[in-house]
Chain A
Amino acid sequence: MSERPLHEPTFLMLTALAKGPQHGYGIITDVERISDGRVRLRAGTLYAALDRVVAEGLVEADRDEVVEGRLRRYYRLTPRGGDRLAAEVARLQHNAAVAAGRLERRGRALGGTT
């Protein structure tokens, strides 16, 4: 059975972790960078999403660090999470290729009639 498409914030979060382990605030800033400032996760949203992807086995805790008296927990992509992200990338690429091909044909057809 094919899996459901990932929601954009989850997709961006997994993409952020594909670079390597990151802590919560690192994920927020990276997601903002990846999406050109369009998606800014709030802390509550981030942790609700993390709770779900950890439960699904896509992400796991990597290590804890204490920086300036504050706990930082790093998260990393699991092999399963990597596969899931790759499958989503393939799905999006396929859809984009089909859409681009059709738009190109449409453009040619419109160009031919004028």
Chain B
Amino acid sequence: MTAAGGLEKSYRRLLRSFPALYRSRHEEEMLGVLMAAAQPGQRRPGVRESADLLWSALKIRIRMATRRADSQPWAAALALTAVLLPLLMVALKLTFFLVQGTRYGYGTPADILIGAYGQPGAYARSFQLNSYSIAVTANVTGALTAGPVPALVLAALACLGWRRAAAGVAAVVPLAYLGISLTRDFTLLAGPRGDVTLYAYGLEALILLMAPGTPRGWRALRWRPSALLAAATVAAGIGMNGGLRSLFPSARVNLALLGPGLLRYRLAQMPHGFIDRLFGIGAGGWGHWLLYQGTLVAVILVALTIMLLNSPASRRVLALLGFPFALGAVIYLFSLISPPLPGPAGNTLSAAPVLLTLLAAMVLTLGRSLPAGTSP
């Protein structure tokens, strides 16, 4: 094979890193440019040239993916989710605060700030029970994930239409949390509730960066499905905090209203502890509380919302919203079935989706703002 033949073959191999659609339009002309720029007798592509081609292929792939996201239904869905998600996060925090506060007391402002809902004196106790540095670390991570301040600031910025600032706040939460946890061998990343919050913040950062603008989201917001989703969020929040049982201790529901006896029998045969914990009810008599439990109510409300969503953009909103919560739900369910996976394995598993979300956010941001660049 001649030197030029071998070089051309190598270039073609490198050009395979570009998207097929792009290659079908530009491969031959790019090959022409590459061969024209080659040194006489050159047998293989240089390292910098190869790196430049691979890097450019990545940029074009990201750009093409971003352009697809700019298409009408996705653009509308992103704008809508960008305003809806912070509001739902505030609703969830408020539910945690009210349910736990009603049961165990609201605590001091510092307790609320660190997200220790229903744990009066938790902030002061953390300093008594731990070393100063551990208490500070735990409180900072608590304030970032469980605390209400980031969610409130994010919602305010999204309401004001300050998209980039809101994206910054949303990105800071998982990044700071990850930074802190890196210094502690990922041990802080365990815990289902924190994970769901991190996914939600990471996703919100990603959506805000890609969304065409929050004002468009406000215009697209329809009150009925949005109210149902908010109600589902509140219901899920109640379910995650032990259900309504403690709020209405004397309430009783006749299960006969729920359906035929066979269904009741089947439900009764399911693993007792798992079902109890899934629906947030205490041991014994779970059936009495089924109707009251947030998880079930949330499922019903989400199903109703799906029935109301009849546009492609709305369905995409639900898919976007479902992403962090589906990941969080898997870990939550695992934590209910058995003790969390031990040690580094469990923590790494918890960290992986957060890392992937952040990576996607960074790559997409890169694709949007990269300058044309020069060769070194």
Contacts and interface: CB of A to CB of B under 8 A. Distances in A.
Interface of A: 7-10, 13, 23-25, 28, 39-49, 51-52, 55, 64, 70-73
B25 to A, nearest CB: 9
Nearest to B22: A51
B29 A71 contact: yes
A41 B32 CA distance: 15
A68 to B, nearest CB: 9
Contacts of A70: 28, 31-32, 35-36
Nearest to A39: B374
Interface string B52-67: 1111110110010001
14 contacts: A23-B32, A25-B32, A25-B37, A42-B49, A42-B52, A43-B30, A43-B53, A44-B53, A44-B54, A48-B56, A48-B59, A48-B373, A51-B63, A70-B31
Contacts of B28: 70-71
B34 interface: yes
Contacts, number: 88
B262 interface: no
Contact of B372 (A28, A49, A55): A49
Nearest to A68: B32
A7 to B, nearest CB: 4
B363 to A, nearest CB: 15
A88 B60 CA distance: 25
B372 A43 contact: no
B29 A9 contact: no
B261 interface: no
Nearest to B57: A44
Contacts of B53: 42-44
- The binding surface of chain A is classed by DSSP as helix
Nearest to B35: A70
Interface in B51-110: 52-57, 59-60, 63, 67
A21 B55 CA distance: 27
Lowest 8 CB-CB distances: which A-B pairs, in order? Answer: A44-B56, A49-B372, A7-B371, A70-B32, A24-B33, A48-B56, A44-B53, A42-B375
Contact of B56 (A39, A47, A73): A47
A9 B49 contact: no
A13 B29 contact: no
Interface residues of B, number: 29
A109 to B, nearest CB: 37
Interface string B354-376: 00000000000000000111110
Contacts of B35: 70
A112 B55 CA distance: 54
B26 interface: yes
Contacts of B37: 25, 28, 42-43
Contacts of B34: 43
Interface in B1-48: 22, 26, 28-37, 48
Nearest to A69: B32
A37 B32 CA distance: 22
A59 B132 CA distance: 61
Given A23-B29, A43-B49, 7 more contacts: A9-B374, A42-B52, A45-B56, A48-B56, A48-B373, A49-B373, A51-B60
Given A24-B30, A44-B57, A13 B52 contact: no
A41 to B, nearest CB: 6
Contacts of B57: 44
B55 A25 contact: no
A58 B44 CA distance: 34
Interface string B267-301: 00000000000000000000000000000000000
Contacts of B372: 7, 9-10, 13, 45, 48-49, 52
